[in-house]
A and B are shown apart, each in its own frame.
Chain A
Amino acid sequence: MNAAFAMPHGDSPPPDSLVASKNPNSGKEERRRTVLIVDDEHLIADTLAEILNDSSNFVAVALYDGASALEWVRGTSIDILITDVVMPELNGIELAKSIKSICPKTRIVLLSGQAQTRDLMQQARHEGYLFELWPKPMHPDDVLKRLKQDPV
């Protein structure tokens, strides 16, 4: 599988399963939420995954194309999908729709700095999909803050 695991920083061991990992730093039985990050720009996906893994609230995996992401989701369920919109082959919105059908509870966040995104979003909304659209670039502090909040 064409996937790169972004390992959590520090002493915490890599999670053997993304589904059942627990936050080792908190005494409570709070589950770290699993995040799948998809961006054809490797560096963006990798660094964002590292940031999320560092935060102790999330366990993140970075992938670089829609097909790999779909394959991943078939094997493992995820809590949150953060995907770039404009990507070669499968775009973020199509990917989000497919993942929504496989795993309906997944929170979907689309990242985009592109002009045509709003129209694509509107089209998706007409089809009954409500996705979050975040601007790109977004400061990591804001990303973490928003991910900890409930979707608007």
Chain B
Amino acid sequence: MSDWDLGRSPWYLRYGAAVVFVMLALALQFLPAARQVPFAFFFAAVALSARICGFGAAIFSTILSVAMADFFLLPPRFSFAVRGGDQLRLLFFALVALVISSLAKKKSEADKVADERRAQLAAVVESSEDAIFNKTLDGTVLTWNRAAQEMYGYNQEEMIGRNVAGLAPPEKAGEIAGILQRLRRGERMAHFETERVTKDGRRIDVSLSISPVFDTEGKIREAATIARDITNQKKAEAALRRAEKLATAGELGATIAHEMNNPLAAVTNLVYLIRKNGSLDDKARKQLELLDHELARMAHMTRRTLGFYRDTSSPVHADMRQIMDEVLEIYAGKLQSRAIKVQREYQPHSEVTVFPGEMRKVFSNLIANAIDAIRRQGTITIRVRSSHSWNHSALPGHASR
């Protein structure tokens, strides 16, 4: 109703408008048909003034109407003198006009409050970081806020009137029908985690809170959905799980390596003693040499596996290039089988004070991720250089197809 409200305009506009309404009423009052109802149009003028120009202007138009009616309409005409019976009629008119004014004022105030509240709510919805939209019980979108546009990529024109089923990925097509059915039964769903597809085809993880909206009669007419993009949260959780898995695997590997070290030491010693035995022929000697060589490889492997887990309780001076090479050695087989090349761009002076075991875990994670990202054939470029700026050394390398 703000279009028809001069409540906040300057006083001369409001009072000017009141004068115009009263003059119009006076002019209409001269119509022959209006003779029978001398005040009818003045009531309209007062009501209009109250509605549009405010309470003060309504009082003013009431007084003006009384004066105009007295001067122009009531006998004796063109005089302010009033006969006994007309005095009562004028008084009655003035009272009714006052009641109209105050009712109109109250109504317009209530409207104003309601408007403001609606605007506030709209602003909250609009500025929300969560996507908020309303839909009918068959899934037709009714409202679509800014965050919903950003999250799903569809703007209001594209979405309003369309069915929300279009947002679900193909394998979850039945999910929306299920949600709508539950809504019709009056159920609400809180933090329902699922997947949705954006306009550009991206899949996002969302947490949905959906509740039925009841009308004044208590019937469910529509439903409100609050959707939150939890893709990054999910990714972080997965990364954490992966890191935990890796740590567990590292610990397990270390435990096995420990267990292997003792028998390995005994066998290495035994092979040494057998080789010293002079009664062996050349072939046996050669085979023992191979055996010795393989044992050395095994020892090397257990030491590498332990390196992942074994760590000091305080940081030590270590060469990042060496740590990186050790990690790459672990992944050598995987890299080879996937035809992934590793390009090392190491700069000298890369000694830092670190926990080598922790660094190995970090690099191992990065390299494992890079391998997963490439899948097959490609190059992982690893740069090691010293820097004092965190911005430039945030990542030690990058993967490229």
- Residues of A whose CB lies within 8 Å of any CB of B are 41, 43-44, 47-48, 50-51, 54, 111, 113-115, 117-119, 122, 135-141
| A122/B313 contact (C-beta < 8 A), A51-B273, A113-B257 known | yes
> Chain A contacts of B295 at CB under 8 A?
137
**Contact: B268 with A139, CB < 8 Å?**
yes
Which chain B residues in 244-279 approach chain A with CB under 8 Å?
254, 257-258, 261-262, 264-266, 268-270, 272-273, 276
> Are A136 and B261 neighbours in the complex by a CB distance under 8 Å?
yes
Shortest Cβ distance from B307 into A: residue: A115
Q: Which residues of A contact B311 (CB under 8 A)?
A: 115, 118
Contact assessment for A140 and B312 in the assembled complex, using a CB-CB cutoff below 8 Å? no
Given known pairs A115-B254, A115-B309, the reply for A41 and B262 (CB within 8 Å) is: yes
- Provide the bound-state CA to CA distance between A141 and B271, in Å: 12
* Cβ contact of A115, chosen from B265, B272, B310, cutoff 8 A: B310
Given A41-B266, A44-B262, A54-B273, 4 further pairs, Cβ under 8 A: A47-B269, A51-B269, A113-B262, A136-B261
B62 CB-CB contact with A under 8 Å: no
Q: Mark B297-308, 1 if CB is under 8 A from A, else 0.
A: 001001100100
Which residues of the other chain, A, contact B265 by a CB distance below 8 angstroms? 41, 44, 111, 113, 136-138
CB distance from B253 to the nearest CB of A (A): 11
Is there contact, CB below 8 Å, between A137 and B258?
A: no
Instruction: Give Cα A44 to B267, complex, Å.
Output: 8
Q: A115-B309, A115-B310 are in contact. Are A140 and B272 (CB under 8 A)?
A: yes
A interface, over-half SS: helix
A117 to B309, CA, bound (A): 12
Complex Cα–Cα for A105 and B57 (A): 112
Interface residues in chain B, defined as those with a beta carbon under 8 Å from any beta carbon in chain A:
254, 257-258, 261-262, 264-266, 268-270, 272-273, 276, 292, 295-296, 299, 302-303, 306, 309-314
Q: How far is the CA of A51 from the CA of B272 in the complex (A)?
A: 8
Q: Are B268 and A137 in contact (CB under 8 A)?
A: yes
Chain A residues within an 8 Å CB radius of B299: 137-139
Q: Is the CB of B273 within 8 A of A115?
A: no
Given A113-B258, A119-B313, are A50 and B266 also a contact pair (CB < 8 Å)?
Answer: no
Task: Knowing A113-B262, A139-B296 are in contact, say whether A122-B312 is a contact too (CB < 8 A).
Answer: yes
| Cα distance A17–B296 in the bound complex, in angstroms | 36
Taking A113-B258, A114-B258, A135-B303 as contacts, is the C-beta distance between A44 and B310 under 8 angstroms? no
**Which B-chain residue is minimally distant from A112 (CB atoms)?**
B261
Closest approach, in angstroms, between the C-beta of A134 and any C-beta of chain B? 11
Given contacts A122-B313, A122-B314, A139-B296, contact A47 B302 (CB under 8 A): no
Question: Of A43, A113, A118, A119, which one neighbours B266 at CB under 8 angstroms?
Answer: A43
Residue of A48, A54, A138, A139 touching B276 (CB-CB under 8 A): A54
Shortest CB distance B252–A (Å): 12
A41 to B263 alpha-carbon distance, docked (Å):
9
Complex Cα gap A113–B335 (Å): 28
Name 14 interchain pairs, CB-CB below 8 A, sorted by A. Answer: A41-B262, A54-B273, A113-B265, A114-B258, A115-B254, A115-B258, A115-B306, A118-B311, A119-B313, A137-B265, A138-B299, A139-B268, A139-B296, A140-B272
Pairwise interchain contact B309-A47, C-beta atoms closer than 8 A = no
Verify A44–B272 contact, CB threshold 8 A.
no
Inter-chain contact A140/B269, CB cutoff 8 Å: yes
In the bound complex, do residue A44 and residue B266 qualify as a contact, i.e. CB atoms below 8 Å apart? Answer: yes
Chain B proximity of A21: nearest CB distance (Å): 21
Chain A CB count within 10 A is highest, among B269, B296, B299, B312, for: B269
What is the minimal beta-carbon distance from A102 to any residue of chain B, in angstroms?
27
CB contacts (< 8 Å) of A41 on chain B: these are 262, 265-266
